[in-house]
Structure 1
Amino acid sequence: MLSLAHEDVLLAAHANDWRDALNQAADALVAGGRATPAYREGLLAREAQSSTYLGQGIAIPHGTPDSREAVLATGVRVLQFPQGVEWHDGNRVFLVVTIAAQSDEHLDILRSLTRVLDREGVSERLASATTAEQILAELGREVIPPRLDADTVLCGFPARDRDELVLAGAARLRQAGCVGDGFLTAMLQTEPNALGQGIWLVQSRQDVSQPALSVVTPEKALDTRHGRINAVACLALDADGGQHRVLLERLLTLLEDGVGERLPGLSTSALLARLLGESSTAQLASVTLLNAHGLHARPAKQLVQAARDAGESFGIIPSLRLEQGEGGIVSAASLTKVLGLGARRGQTLVFSANGEDARANQAALDAMVAAVKAGLGESVEPLMDQRPEASAPDAQPASDKVAAPEADSVVPAVGASPGMAIAPCWVMYQPRFLYEARSDAGAEHEAQRLASGIQTAREQLQELVNRAEGAEMAEILSMHEEMLGDPELFAAARESLEEGHSAEAAWWSAIDSAARAQENLADRLLAERAADLRDVGRRVLGVLTDTPLPSAPETPHVLVTEDIGPSDVARLDTSRVRGLVTALGGATSHSAILARSLGIPAVVGAGPSVLAIADGSELIVDGERGRVSVMPSASRRARAEEAIAGHEQRQAAAWETRMAPAITRDGHQVEVVANLGNTAHAGDAVERGAEGVGLLRTEFVFMAHPQAPDLATQTAQYGEALDALDGRPLVARTLDVGGDKPLPYWPLPREDNPFLGLRGIRLALTRPEVLETQVRALLMAAGSRPIRLMFPMVKDLAELRAARAIVERVRSELDAAHEAEHGQPLMRDVQVGVMIEIPSAALTAASIAPEVDFFSVGTNDLTQYTLAIDRGHATLSAQADGLHPAVLRLIEMTVAAAHAHGAWVGVCGELASDDQAVGVLVGLGVDELSVSSRQIPLVKARVRELDLTMAREQARVALAQPTSEDVRSALDSLIEQNAQSHPRQEEQV
């Protein structure tokens, strides 16, 4: 891209007319060795075609394509004319930015200069500048554009008064990163102004980092003591008072159009369109931009030419905006405006036409959509997540591009559900939903079809809920049923129906948009939940198109598929499905969770090659190690059969002895406890042999309510688990939410990397009253029963001390109150600890240990932070192995520091139930293993098979290896060597 330097600027030039200015500009390029004198003719020829006046007193003359032969080297010269030059189009020019470019590089500098045009007084400052630095500073000064998009608009907010709407609007701006806490305070102290038609405006400059406008509408119009309220707008003013004016103008367009009374009924997209100036009568067409680098110079030129062609052919030039609302509405025939949108791959372009001839409008829109789909002069690839139609049952797209794994090969994946299975495979492809994109039956008819289809799908899901095996499955399927009742989805589809789309096309457009918005939240957990949206979307499509679901074989098989929705898992016949393999997905997806709840061995993220495996090919699925053996040899199969038989025997034996303690052969005891996501499951954990709870994820209490749960609610919930434990200890992790797991009533700014952002104890300490209430509830629920308070995401001693101070203060208040009421102190059994999940906490464990009672190592996060691998990454997740020696070294340091100060150490991540890792962890000195309830009997049995000397040798060998692969291989060899003296050894499959 072209850039400007000090030597490129020539000050205080004078010209008699625009030709004289152009000649001086050409001379400057020649003098700088950028062009030959012949380039002058190219500059004149370009002006003859159309003016290069850009705006704000700036012209950007450049040659024609034919004159590029006269360019010696790409370059720029900037000439300042303080007195101004009358340009041939009647505009006055103070700055000439002359470009010699050997390709279309001038469009890049043009795009950067369009930012200058929106600032007031630019031409005066350019004319009066006396140094090159002033010119460069003016041209290069970053302009923060005003913000009004889908993230700042909120429709149908369940508010009861004006103040709630104001707070919601201010919080929306803070979550978008436009304002800070000071802005929210100012909003509550500022009296809103009535603009008319039930629209209210409140504004402030306090704590504003980006000018922005949020508009919030209630579920229905509110009649309050202030008057009727149809919408509240919060305006964040910029310092110089210029950038926000365009936002105020957009707000006033609502009054001009007279839509105030209809605002509570509009969807977000419809309201945003009105704010951006789009007429309610305009015809619309949307298309996803697929160009790799977005609308950069070349495709932008193609799009502009298509718009101009449409104007000539159909008498209408469409307007253009981004569906997200960025950049407003621009003419599709204006290159500078189109470039200024900065459209990126994957964004949705919305074209509008408002001519009197509806057919001409539609023809123009169709031409624009066709041009974008054709690539605008570039070769384009479809988005991975853009599947308006699923693959046909007999289509095998992966086999065309990716070869199937070789016979007797092992495909690495991510272990999602433990266990091992051997069976022929059945590769399932989603059905192809065939439907017309548009319908002549009318919006009402299609809306009725869609409503009927959604109702049928909800009935199907309810039937699955009634047949569901286990609470987790019923809960997730119920959530799917609630998704189908989301009025926002139906409203978004209804907009497409009004534009003439069929029920199927409108529904999938709404689903796809919502799913992509979910995926754009940069969070693994939330991104995987987008798969749930697509799952319910496909279900409705199946009803609307009367498309039968794939029919599984009647014989036992391993199911192989690209990805699988929770409702697909719920339909699995566990008597026939021996194992599950998916090409995509992560270990935290709902599908993986349900597979674990059903006890089906499963691996996910195996890659596209597994989709090319021929039906009937035998597979071995190892859900613990995360691997798939394809068409195994006789010897590999025999080892797997032996391992499965041994595993089944061990399961039976482990269940019989599940209530016995986990004591090694030489008398060393390790506590085996349960990880719980809900207090309701505590009784089941005890039934499976849990000696307590090593991790209660308390955020379930907060996520289950529309507002922060009060003291009584939390006390009752925690008491339920303590009652079921009947005196066994409970480790409760305090609220662990943040940018990656947001709460609807606790708005947070968007973060580029929420896993490294405001979450866990960092977030809790910003609202100490919330943490204090939770601590109080936990202590009150426990009474004299054993309670362990654990703080998540602690990075160092300072955070621990801040959190512990709250615990000590609350405990003192409760103890004083108890003694005053009962005349004697309450003998509490309270311990305080931290999760070791950030490497800095492990590295400084020696300084933290004197001030805690315990550490609990969260190996899931500790592994991804240590190895810099997102466990949900489609390509790398298989490498995020907690048995990596770097992770083990951090655990070793943590144990040594804790034991030196009398503290104990637990492990509550997935590594604690890894069959190969149990011995290593015991050998490292870990005192407690906290695992899923289903794994408790087996983990206890595994501990009983060890002796401490053997475990310490496993730890020593593991720490000496360079990679996790080497660790697992060395452990296998060590176990094989001990096979004679210690039976129950399973060979690697």
Structure 2
Amino acid sequence: MMTLDLDNIKIGSTAANKADAIREAANLLIQTHHIKPGYMNSMMEREKVANTFLGNGIAIPHGLPKDRDDILRTGIAVVQIPKGVEWNAGEIVHLVVGIAARSDEHIEVLSNLTTLLGDESLIQRLSVTSDPNDIIASLTQSAGTKPATPQLADFAMAIEVVIQGKLGLHARPAATFVEVAKQFAADVHVRYGEKVANGKSLNSLLQLGVKGGTAIRVMAQGDDAEVALAALKEAVAQGLGEEEEKPAEVVEHGWTPQYVGETIPGVPASPGLAIGQVRYFKHRKIVVETTAKDPQAEEERLNEAIAAAQVELEQLYEEVKERSGAGKASIFRAHAEFLADPDLASETLAYIRKGHSAGWAWQETIQMQVAALQSVDDPLLSARATDLKDVGTRVLQHLAGIVDDQPFVPDIPVILLAEDLTPSDTAKLNPEFILGFCTASGGPTSHTAIIARSLGIPAIVGTGPALLHQAEGTMAILDGNSGNLYLEPGDADIESARQAQRALENLRNEEFRTRFEPAITTDGHRLEVVANISHTAEAERAVNAGGEGVGLLRSEFLFLDREDAPSEAEQFTAYLDMVTALNGLPLIVRTLDIGGDKNAPYLNMPPEDNSFLGVRGIRLCLARPKLFKPQLRAIFRASQHGPVKIMFPMISTYEDLTAAREIAEQVRAEIGAPAVEIGIMIEVPSAVMMAEELAREVDFFSIGTNDLTQYTLAMDRLHPVLAKQADGLHPAVLRMIDKTVQAAKAAGKWVGVCGGIAGDPRGAVILAGLGVTEFSVSIPSIAAIKAKLRQISLTDAQAVAQKALSCRTAAEVRNLLLPM
């Protein structure tokens, strides 16, 4: 039971800042023998990773779980600050409630405090009272003496679930519960003992005081009640975003500061350390005419601007894909979907027909839609608002009379601060001048964060408005691993951070120095590391990076961003240039893979409800032989000049493969070219289940883990909620890979992987253990993956792979210890 007496209360205090207030509360706990002095530092550290502001003038600073041994006995201390102290930007605290609790005892305090949150007049009185007994009475009253509150109703439709984790339903898992509940129209109530809470209210849920390992009754009423309960049951089963506490791991760079002027905590978005002055990002200015005389001409201008924006998005897609692969580049495919939105078009046309210019009409429509999204208290919809704003600006540039769109290029390398950055803004950043960036809004799974990771720019997001009140030119250290921006660091911290940077750079340099060495495991097994490429020029880059060939040439680069299909001669020239650049190293050409998230307007493909399950990949090629045969002729012609292999994408049935092989053989015979190795992409579960039969008909398999993950888990890897769960290291996906490899081995065929997990050091080790012998990765990843594979024995990798196959979740796989 939490205790509170006069010695634990300080009335009429003042504090210059949050740190002073925490020190006052900690000193009270030290003086009353509740904590050791070291726990004060733990309370400070907690502020770097979590917000302890509870609401309505109350904050609850407490230490990190790893430092519970510094708690001598359970207790609380209250510091009253009548004039208030700013906790975070816009958050003024009058009652600082320091908590010392070794287990879930603090849930009781949260329950009492959240009851107080609903009584503003009581909080105001406690904030200025001169009698500490008023505070004691309010915080220690028993359940029977608390003010009566209306009891919410029980609903007939309900489920029983058990809250996991030692700490119970505290703020973070409760917030996740509320977020899931708010996705549904149904009312959601939660019963815990004699109390019933609103499942869509964080404050209400916290008042329940649910402890870990106990059951709650989740009830719903409304049209989608059954679906809501199923989603909440799944969310609770998954732990509500709460992870079991593990021993603290030293971050890769191992650096922490000692003395800094201010720390602004945020959310890690892209790892790494950046050291430099801060500078604010300046957005472009666009001016449009309000009215126009010719509505028909304005409609044509609108259509032309949208078409131009689509071309730009396609180009941006290709540029990002070159650096980071299709997965991250697909952000800009999603942007293109906005341009096809019929509501945007119809609303814009309505304004044009009333006499407005296309620019003004489009701007007005976008602003209204963005405002509507931003007004919804839902972070996912807010992220969509950022994307919509980005797309709107892209079109508007083609409709504007005046555009101040000079690229943001500082004169010295800086750490960029911004309220937010759009994906397009981020993709244009030059890593030579942008050391790192920090935004007040956004999340780690936002499109902006994904692009930052692809560029290798350290980044922090979601810091809140405190970020926007810093002086330009202030020295700072941005830690993308911990999610903290350290302002005005001391000279010693700057030097130690630079040493950490140099250590990382030395590691990368050593990997680069040995990039041409083969990837031979410590027990003598040779593994191939090759490149994924999307352009002719990348073939030479792949070789220079240490690649042992090209495991995936995305041939669709020849078909996109143009008004008609490439000729056979044009394709042959491109393939020949790559064969020449590779100088005897193998080139695997994936035949045209258009459809899904890639389209070419000149193909006039009819719209599909779900293009990922429609005519794409080999289905399109079989349906369009006039498109397919010229490509095959060009490939066979190029194969006469060097080692070229053909790979068919999206094979889902045995009939797909036999039909494609028949056409390929017909073309080969017409040209008189020698036979080449023919393989297929394994990207869908049906291909895995038919792998034994398919293996007899091909020379190799290449597993596309990005699509295989998406189709196996039935999770769109671009979905705002599900994307982070679409993990290629999920046991279900790994078992698919294992089954594929076993079928190939039985037929004497080799297996490569050209998806994202091949370029992940952990994924590469597990894949090697499963029997994968070729790793096709992005060019920047080649040296690191070769270095990683040289550090392991195949025997150890096999042991880890077997453990991975036995795991239940992707998190368990990612927590496995790797062989050293």
Instruction: Using structure 2 for the length normalisation, give the TM-score.
Output: 0.53
Q: After superposition, where does 1:470-869 map in structure 2 within 5 Å? A: 499-501=354-356, 505-506=360-361, 508-509=363-364, 533-537=391-395, 544=402, 556-557=414-415, 562-567=420-425, 569-572=427-430, 574-579=432-437, 596=454, 598-601=455-458, 609-611=462-464, 614=467, 620-621=479-480, 628=483, 645-783=502-640, 785-815=642-672, 828=675, 830-869=676-715
Letter in 2 for 1:882: G
What do residues 422-461 of structure 1 show as CA deviations (whole Å, max 9, x unaligned)?
Answer: 569979788597989956x9889x99xx99xx9xx99xx9
The residue type paired with residue 664 of structure 2 is: V
TM-fit CA distance, 1:897:
1.1
Preserved contact between residue 279 and residue 414 of structure 2 (Cα < 8 Å): no
In structure 2, the residue matched to 1:904 is 750
CA distance in 2, matches of 1:957, 1:408: 40
Aligned to 1:259: none
d(CA) in 1 for partners of 2:715, 2:497: 30
Q: Deviations over 1:800-854 (max 9, x none)?
A: 1111111222222222xxxxxxxxxx655x1111111112212321221111111
Query: Counterpart in 2 of 1:348?
Result: none
Contact 2:390 2:422 in 1 (8 A): no
Separation (CA, whole Å) in 2 of partners of 1:599 and 1:726: 30
What do the CA deviations read for 1:391-422 (whole angstroms, capped 9, x no partner)?
xxxxxxxxxxxxxxxx9989576x7xxx5235
CA spacing shift, 1:680–1:535, aligned 2, 3 Å: farther
Q: 1:803 to 1:535 in 2, by over 3 A?
A: same
The SS at the match of 1:745 is helix
Aligned equivalents of 1:949, 1:595: Cα separation in 2:
32
User: Secondary structure of the residue that 2:815 maps to in structure 1?
Assistant: helix
Q: 8 Å contact 1:492–1:510 — kept in the other structure?
A: yes
Structure 2 distance, partners of 1:653, 1:532, is: 40
Worse-matched range after superposition: 884-893 or 701-710? 701-710
Q: Mean alpha-carbon deviation: is it higher for 636-645 or for 684-693?
A: 636-645
Structure 1 residue 895 corresponds to structure 2 residue 744:
no
Equivalent residue in structure 2 for 1:918, among 732, 755, 764:
764
- Asked if 2 retains the 8 angstrom alpha-carbon contact of 1:711 and 1:777, the reply is yes
Residues 422 and 448 of structure 2 are in contact (CA less than 8 Å); yes or no, is this contact kept in structure 1?
Answer: no
The 1:738–1:503 alpha-carbon spacing in structure 2 relative to 1, beyond 3 Å, is: closer
Q: CA deviation at 1:875?
A: 2.4
Query: What per-residue deviation string (whole Å, max 9, x for no partner) do you get for residues 103-153 of structure 1?
Result: xxxxxxxxxxxxxxxxxxxxxxxxxxxxxxxxxxxxxxxxxxxxxxxxxxx
Distance in 2 (alpha carbons) for counterparts of 1:695 and 1:577: 32
SS at 2:663 equivalent: helix
1:580 Cα deviation from its structure 2 partner: 6.6
SS at match of 1:674: strand
Deviations 1:572-603 (A, max 9, x none): 4633422577966999979956873x542468
Letter in 2 for 1:889: R
* Alignment map for 1:909-988 (pairs within 5 Å): 909-970=755-816, 974-975=817-818, 982=820
Structure 2 CA distance for aligned equivalents of residues 910 and 715 of structure 1:
29
Q: 2:272 aligns with which of 408, 420, 425?
A: 420
Q: 1:499: Cα distance to partner? A: 4.1
For 1:958 and 1:813, how far apart are their aligned partners in 2? 48
Counterparts in 2 of 1:498 and 1:804: CA distance versus 1, 3 Å = closer
Query: Given that residues 559 and 580 in structure 1 are in contact (C-alpha distance below 8 angstroms), is that contact kept between their aligned partners in structure 2?
Result: yes
> What is the CA deviation profile of residues 258-303 of structure 1, one whole-angstrom value per residue up to 9, with x for unaligned ones?
xxxxxxxxxxxxxxxxxxxxxxxxxxxxxxxxxx99xxxxxxxxxx
CA 1:492–1:884: 2 relative to 1, 3 Å:
closer
Q: 1:550 to 1:854 in 2, by over 3 A?
A: closer
Q: Percent identity?
A: 38
1:678 aligns to what SS in structure 2?
coil
Instruction: Check the 8 A contact 2:268/2:480 in 1, yes or no.
Output: no
SS state of the match for residue 952, structure 1?
A: helix
In 2, distance between residues paired with 1:433 and 1:784? 52
Relative contact order (C-alpha < 8 Å, sep 6+): which is higher? 2
Going from structure 1 to structure 2, the CA distance change for 1:807 and 1:435 (only over 3 Å counts) comes to closer
Could you tell me whether the CA contact under 8 Å between 2:531 and 2:779 is conserved in 1?
Answer: yes
Give CA deviations for 1:182-201 in whole Å, capped at 9, x if unaligned.
xxxxxxxxxxxxxxxxxxxx
Correspondence 1:886 to 2:739: no
Contact 1:528 1:589 in 2 (8 A): no
Matched residue, 2:74:
none
Aligned residues: 514
8 Å Cα contact 2:288/2:401 also seen in 1:
no
Contact 1:580 / 1:600 at 8 angstroms: preserved in 2?
no
**Residue deviations 1:321-367, cap 9 Å, x none?**
xxxxxxxxxxxxxxxxxxxxxxxxxxxxxxxxxxxxxxxxxxxxxxx
**For residues 386 and 592 of structure 2, what CA distance do their matches in structure 1 show?**
22
User: Over residues 149-168 of structure 1, what are the superposed CA-to-partner deviations in whole Å (9 max), with x where a residue is unaligned?
Assistant: xxxxxxxxxxxxxxxxxxxx
Distance 1:808 1:528 in 2: 49
Cα distance change on mapping 1:958 and 1:556 into 2, 3 Å = farther
C-alpha distance 427-756 of structure 1, shift in aligned 2 (>3 A): farther
C-alpha separation between the residues in 1 aligned to 2:559 and 2:589? 14
Give the SS at the match of 2:716. coil
Counterpart mapping for 1:52-63 below 5 A: none
Task: Give the superposed CA RMSD.
Answer: 5.2
Deviations 1:77-111 (CA, angstroms, capped at 9, x unpaired): xxxxxxxxxxxxxxxxxxxxxxxxxxxxxxxxxxx
Q: 1:969 and 1:505, CA in 2 relative to 1: closer, same or farther beyond 3 A?
A: same
Alignment of 1:16-55 (within 5 A): none
Instruction: Check the 8 A contact 1:426/1:552 in 2, yes or no.
Output: no
CA distance in structure 1 between the aligned counterparts of 2:586 and 2:732, rounded to whole angstroms: 31
Q: Distance in 2 between matches of 1:736 and 1:712?
A: 20
Does the 8 Å CA contact 1:515/1:533 hold for their aligned counterparts? no
Whether contact under 8 Å (1:559, 1:577) holds in the other structure is no
Cα distance in 1 for partners of 2:583, 2:727 equals 36
User: What is residue 74 of structure 1 aligned with on the other side?
Assistant: none
Whether the 8 Å contact between 2:284 and 2:403 is mirrored in structure 1 is no
1:568 positional shift:
5.4
**Contact 1:579–1:621 (CA<8 Å) still a contact in 2?**
no
Where does 1:362-401 land on structure 2 (aligned, <5 Å)? Answer: none
1:873 aligned partner, one-letter code: H
Aligned to 1:875: 721
Structure 2: how far apart are the matches of 1:471 and 1:965? 29
CA 410–906 in structure 1, closer or farther in 2 if over 3 Å, else same: farther
CA contact (8 A) 1:535 1:565 kept: no
**Contact 2:587/2:644 (<8 A) preserved:** yes
- Give how far 1:899 is off: 1.4
Name the CA shift for 1:915/1:637 in 2 (closer, same or farther; >3 Å).
Answer: farther
* TM-superposed deviation, 1:929: 0.7
Give the structure-1-normalised TM-score.
0.45
Q: Secondary structure at the match of 1:941?
A: helix
Q: Which runs of 5+ in 2 are unaligned?
A: 1-182, 185-262, 372-383, 471-475
Change in Cα spacing, 1:588 to 1:832, as seen in structure 2 (3 Å) is: farther
